[in-house]
Amino acid sequence: MPDIPPLDLTGDVRALTAALVDAESVSGDETALADAVEAALKPLSHLSVVREGDAVVARTELGRAERVVIAGHIDTVPLAGNLPSRVEGDLLYGCGTSDMKSGVAVALKLAAGVPEPSRDVTYVFYDCEEVEAERNGLGRIARTRPDLMAGDFAVLMEPTGGEIEGGCQGTLRAEVVVRGRRSHSARSWHGVNAIHGAEPVLARLGAYRAREPLVDGLTYHEGLNAVGITGGVAGNVIPDECVVTVNYRFAPDRSMEQARDHVREVFEGYEVRFTDGAPGARPGLTHPVAAAFVRAIGGTPRAKLGWTDVSRFSALGVPAVNYGPGDPNLAHQQGEYVSLSMIADCERRMTAWLTASAG
């Protein structure tokens, strides 16, 4: 990987975004960019900087009554012939433009350009968000240094199209097992076909009506869907097992155990094996710090229907929202881009929030 030029945190946020995009940092290979971020932040006298693996945490220590956390991941999905970046009109194209180096650029500009915020701020720039959960840098910090994530409120700079998306839904995957009895397919009446027996499972999914609960003033939309089906032994064998894999996206008013109980209830009479999952996060928009954020940013908050790392803050008792300049629908696409004017607008709104009275 080529060397990364020093990051200029004094210039325009749009130029900084382009520089970050051109700094290749596919998940697991973020060291060079983490080095550049650390080198750019360490000279700033108003910040204390901690390196934790390939994550960088910078904090103000002004003794304010409130502390907020602003976090963003510095990694991207693998390249798809979409570097170096290029500008066409108001659009910046390149890997990670939307998800989420534009949000990281805004956070870096705030860290450098707002030395005396009205609230103490912790900035977290972390690694390995785009890969399996056990490698996630924010999760690692939550396990080893939860004090670095402490605060009254958190903003995750995930792409939201410049709108506030509160909390996130939880997710779990489960295997619904249908049992049968093997036999030779020439004498199928001696067996019980497990694949045929999966029909009632699919019927329950087809008839399922998802909840749309109101949580802290935001409407979430759940979903329970089949995402895979496996079965079969050989071309001349009646199968004795069929497995339907389901994914349940659940609103943050349900715990993980409540979500599992619900899936068990839906598939009563079948063996259900849970394979993975992550809890949701309530938006906490009734908290005074969150309410001040909404006033400063403007617009009408909406629910985050996917899962994001705000869940990690929620597990630590920190209410959190998603807010960033990228379009989430463009994330991971070869033609990914971000609006330059939206990046500048996001920086302006976040600066207004951090410099407004905390009262």
- What pTM did the predictor assign? 0.88
Position 145 in a domain: yes
The pLDDT, as a whole number, for residue 85 is: 97
Residues in the chain, total: 359
Could you tell me the two tokens for 294? 């909404």
Position 308 in a domain: yes
Position 235 in a domain: yes
DSSP state at residue 283: -
162 and 293 housed in the same domain: yes
Instruction: Tell me whether residue 212 is exposed, middle or buried, using C-beta atoms within 10 angstroms of its C-beta: 0 to 12, 13 to 18, 19 or more.
Output: exposed
Structural domain including 305 reads 13-167+281-355
Position 4 in a domain: no
Q: How would DSSP label each residue in 199-257? A: HHHHHHHHH------EETTEE---EEEEEEEEE-S-TTEE-SEEEEEEEEEE-TTS-HH
Position 225 in a domain: yes
257 torsion bin: left (phi>0), alpha (psi -120 to 50), beta (else): alpha
Catalytic positions, please?
75, 129
User: Of 356, 358, 343, which Cα lies nearest the Cα of 109?
Assistant: 343
Helical ranges in 281-358 per DSSP H: 288-297, 310-315, 340-355
Q: Which amino acid is at 195?
A: I
223 and 190 housed in the same domain: yes
183 and 113 housed in the same domain: no
Average pLDDT per consecutive 10 residues, the chain (359 residues; last block may be shorter): 86 98 97 98 98 97 97 97 97 97 98 97 97 92 96 96 95 97 96 98 98 94 98 97 98 96 98 95 87 93 93 92 94 95 98 87
152 and 200 housed in the same domain: no
Question: In this structure, are residues 242 and 198 in contact, taking their beta carbons and an 8 Å threshold?
Answer: yes
Could you tell me the two tokens for 322? 């998603």
Question: Which pairing describes strands 165-166 and 302-303: parallel, antiparallel, or unpaired?
Answer: parallel
SS3 86: strand
47 and 80 housed in the same domain: yes
CATH label of the domain that carries residue 209: 3.30.70.360
38 and 146 housed in the same domain: yes
Position 75 in a domain: yes
Question: In this structure, are residues 244 and 271 in contact, taking their beta carbons and an 8 Å threshold?
Answer: no
163 and 199 housed in the same domain: no
SS3 58: strand
pLDDT per residue as tens digits for the range 10-59 = 999 999 999 999 999 999 999 999 999 999 999 999 999 999 999 999 99
185 and 299 housed in the same domain: no
Domain closes at, from 250, 278, 306 = 278
Position 7 in a domain: no
User: What residue has token string 């071309």?
Assistant: 235
104 and 84 housed in the same domain: yes
161 and 43 housed in the same domain: yes
CATH label of the domain that carries residue 290: 3.40.630.10
SS3 260: helix
Could you tell me the two tokens for 267? 């598939």
The pLDDT, as a whole number, for residue 1 is: 53
Domain closes at, from 254, 278, 302 = 278
Domain closes at, from 255, 278, 301 = 278
How many separate domains does the chain show? Answer: 2
Position 3 in a domain: no
d(CA 246, CA 239): 20
Question: In this structure, are residues 77 and 332 in contact, taking their beta carbons and an 8 Å threshold?
Answer: yes
267 and 312 housed in the same domain: no
Q: Which amino acid is at 68?
A: V
Q: How would DSSP label each residue in 94-152? A: STTIIIIIHHHHHHHHHHHH-SS-SSEEEEEEES--SS-GGG-HHHHHHHH-GGGG--S
User: Of 97, 59, 58, 57, which Cα lies nearest the Cα of 80?
Assistant: 97
229 and 300 housed in the same domain: no
